[in-house]
Copies of this chain bind each other. A is one copy, B any other.
Amino acid sequence: MRTYKVETEDLSEKVYKNIKEMILRRELVPGQKLTQEDMAKLLGVSRTPLLAAFSKLEKEWLVESRPRRGFYIRELNKEDELNLFDIRLRLEPLGARRAAENGSEQDKKRLVRMLDAVPDFNCMENRSAFNDHDYHFHGLVMGMTGNRMLEMMLTSYNIISLSNQDEIHIDCSKSIEGHRKIAQAIAEGKPDEAEEAMRQHIQIGLDRIREQRS
């Protein structure tokens, strides 16, 4: 009998996911040093899998390596943020398009349901709730594209954006309205509209960066 073994992931992969999660949750903040000993103790592993995890995160732009000085949560300056959005502005609309084309009916329903379930929480007071919503929304859309490379890249970029975003400067209701429009277009299987709606949504984020940190 053929046994379907679970592709058991190694420790470094678990650690990698944990740290990503911690960055998203702002338990680790941009600029912070990741002391190896401390992180190893915190996560209950040795430094070996930790180092592999750091290396992965480095190439995803979430962590920065300063040789012989240590690893740090990457802190974006204004130029970096613009560069990041330059990329997102091209790729997220592509993702929305492909989601409309390739997403399963089940996922499309889930997407709509997700937005129905987020009626009105106070963004100013509950920032992490919005963070979670935003992260999951973009993640779900990118998971519908059928392009795992795209999914991986944009998941990381989304985390960087969120973790570097200033608390004060988000127009929450407008953002969710944007999500709703995108979800609608994807659910209805309209690639052009989905792409354009996403483009506008990302553009707003870019505009906000431009006007603020100048």
Residues of chain A whose beta carbon lies under 8 Å from any beta carbon of chain B: 7-10, 12-13, 48, 51-56, 58-61, 65-68, 80, 83-84, 86-87, 90-91, 94, 98, 146-150, 152-153
Q: Which residues of B contact A48 (CB under 8 A)?
A: 48, 51
Q: Give bound CA distance, A66 to B146, whole Å.
A: 21
**A84–B52 CB distance below 8 A:** no
Closest approach, in angstroms, between the C-beta of A197 and any C-beta of chain B?
Answer: 17
Cα of A34 to Cα of B214 in the assembled complex, Å: 48
Give the top 4 A-B pairs by smallest Cβ distance, nearest first. Answer: A55-B55, A52-B55, A83-B147, A59-B59
Contact check: which of B56, B65, B83 meets A59 at CB < 8 Å?
A: B56
B53 close to A83 (CB less than 8 A)? no
By CB atoms of chain B within 10 A, which of A12, A13, A53, A56 has the most?
A56
Option from B52, B80, B148, B150 in Cβ contact (under 8 Å) with A52: B52
Q: Is the interface of A mostly helix, strand, loop or mixed?
A: helix
Total copies of the chain:
2
A55 with B87: CB separation less than 8 A: no
Given that A56-B59, A59-B59, A61-B149 are contacting pairs, would A87 and B83 also be in contact in the complex, using a CB cutoff of 8 Å? no
| A8 close to B148 (CB less than 8 A) | no
A156 and chain B: residue at smallest CB distance: B59
Cross-chain pairs A/B with CB under 8 angstroms, 30 sampled: A7-B66, A8-B67, A8-B68, A9-B67, A10-B67, A12-B55, A13-B67, A48-B51, A51-B51, A52-B52, A52-B54, A53-B55, A55-B55, A56-B56, A56-B59, A59-B152, A61-B149, A80-B149, A83-B147, A83-B148, A83-B149, A83-B150, A84-B149, A86-B94, A86-B147, A86-B150, A87-B147, A87-B153, A90-B94, A153-B153
